[in-house]
């Protein structure tokens, strides 16, 4: 059910530097946490509205390593990183190493899960479901892979399984940041320089590769935005 409390502010940031976006996420994340603390001591009629956010963007070439990941999964040195025009950051999400770049929809839901009445496991499941439903709209069958987050193609075939969307999140007091990296028209060569998400025996793919041609990014964003609203049960605020 969509309620007045479950309204989300949506922002498409376009192409933006990774560190700039990370800092912006952290600002919004801290803002929600601070308001939660303030509201906890107030009667309902006096509580301040604490907006939640869904951010979409694309990043220039960058590799990010989660707090539980290993630097050994980055297979190139700083000189080669510079030659490839890529950057590298150790960050505060879960998961291992992944790549972000042009042609990829990166989504950052900064949600108070208490407002949505869900836990972290269900949150990740719903995020995966939104990607699965979006891919279905384009005739691409996808699913989950047991023991791994994200969205996969041919997950039941170990020699063919390939990831099309990576997921890594941070949560504190049920407030989330970071999110998903969905390969639409992504240049997959950049995955050759890492063990994606720590896997050495799994491939990666994109909508472009599966469909045999480039996909309209704005169209995919628009559909995915609508699916998020339906799957999580919220409405967007103007």
Residue 235, pLDDT above cutoff 60: yes
pLDDT tens digits, 181-216: 999 999 999 999 988 766 666 789 999 999 999 999
Domain span at residue 32 reads 4-237
How many structural domains does the chain have?
1
Q: How many CB atoms lie within 10 A of CB 97?
A: 25
Q: What is the C-alpha separation between 221 and 230, in angstroms, rounded?
A: 14
CB distance 236 to 206 below 8 Å: no
Q: Enumerate the β-bridge partners of residue 9.
A: 53, 237
pLDDT tens digits, 121-173: 999 999 999 999 999 999 999 999 988 889 999 999 988 999 999 999 999 99
In this prediction, residue 29 has a pLDDT band, given cuts at 50, 70 and 90, of very high
- Burial (Cβ within 10 Å: 0-12, 13-18, ≥19) of residue 223: middle
Q: What is the C-alpha separation between 12 and 107, in angstroms, rounded?
A: 9
Instruction: State residue 21's pLDDT score.
Output: 97
Instruction: State residue 46's pLDDT score.
Output: 76
Catalytic residues: 197
CB distance 208 to 166 below 8 Å: no
Q: Provide the CATH number for the domain around residue 192.
A: 3.30.930.10
Question: What one-character-per-residue DSSP string does the chain give?
Answer: ---GGGEEEEEEEEE--HHHHHHHHHHHHHHHHHHHHHHHTS-GGGPPP--EEEEEEE-SSEEEE-TT--GGGB-S-HHHHHHTT-EEEE-SSSS-EEEE-TTEEEEEEE-BHHHHT--HHHHHHHHHHHHHHHHHHTT---EEETTEEEEEESTT-TTT-EEEEEEEEEEETTEEEEEEEEESS--GGGGGGB-GGG-SS-EE--HHHHHTS---HHHHHHHHHHHHHHHHT-EEE-
Mean pLDDT within 83-107: 94
Mean per-residue pLDDT over the chain, rounded: 92
């Amino acid at each position: 059910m969509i309620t007045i409390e479950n309204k989300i502010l949506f922002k498409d940031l376009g192409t933006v530097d990774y560190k700039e976006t990370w800092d912006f996420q952290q600002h919004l994340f801290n803002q929600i946490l601070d308001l939660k603390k303030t509201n906890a001591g107030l009667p309902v009629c006096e509580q301040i509205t604490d907006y939640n956010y869904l951010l979409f963007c694309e990043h220039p070439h960058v590799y990010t390593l989660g707090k539980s990941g290993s630097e050994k999964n980055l297979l190139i040195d700083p000189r080669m990183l510079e030659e490839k025009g890529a950057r590298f950051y150790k960050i505060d999400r879960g998961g291992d190493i992944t790549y972000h770049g042009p042609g990829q929809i990166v989504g950052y839901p900064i949600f108070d899960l208490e407002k949505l009445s869900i836990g972290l496991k269900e949150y990740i499941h719903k995020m995966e479901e939104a990607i699965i439903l979006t891919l279905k709209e384009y005739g691409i069958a996808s699913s989950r892979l047991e023991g791994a987050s994200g969205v996969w193609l041919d997950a039941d075939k170990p020699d063919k399984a390939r990831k099309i969307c990576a997921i890594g999140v941070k949560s504190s007091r049920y407030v989330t940041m970071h999110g998903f990296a969905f390969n639409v028209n992504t240049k997959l060569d950049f995955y050759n320089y890492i063990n994606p998400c720590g896997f050495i025996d799994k491939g990666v793919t994109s909508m472009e590769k599966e469909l045999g041609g480039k996909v309209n990014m704005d169209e995919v964003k628009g559909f995915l935005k609508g699916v998020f609203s339906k799957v999580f049960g919220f409405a967007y605020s103007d």
